[in-house]
Amino acid sequence: MQMVLPLEKMTTREKLCAIEEIWENLADVPSQIPSPAWHGEELKLREERLAKGLTHFSDWSEAKQRIRQQTR
């Protein structure tokens, strides 16, 4: 099914609302959205790094503070 939206006539706000509506609809059925193969590969690499002690986790508030300091 091909759907044609009048994108050139839509405002930025209308386009963003359309994107949000589509995303919310997709989020209702996550099992129908296939995960790319590289996701599994990346998860495996991260698990290996964690097992070897090569990575760590940060509290979200600490991570935000670190990011803000880097952008100054």
Model pLDDT for residues 16-64, shown as the tens digit of each residue: 999 999 999 999 998 999 999 999 999 999 999 999 999 988 999 999 9
Residue 65 is assigned to a structural domain of this protein: yes
Residue 3 is assigned to a structural domain of this protein: no
In the chain, the number of structural domains is 1
Domain that holds residue 55: 11-70
Residue 53 is assigned to a structural domain of this protein: yes
Predicted structure pTM score: 0.50
Residue 61 is assigned to a structural domain of this protein: yes
Residue 1 is assigned to a structural domain of this protein: no
Residue 5 is assigned to a structural domain of this protein: no
Q: How far is CA 14 from CA 4, 5, 22, 27, in A?
A: 15, 11, 12, 20
Taking phi over 0 as left and psi of -120 to 50 as alpha, with beta for the rest, 28 belongs to alpha
For residue 21, the number of C-alpha atoms closer than 13 Å in the C-beta half-sphere is: 6
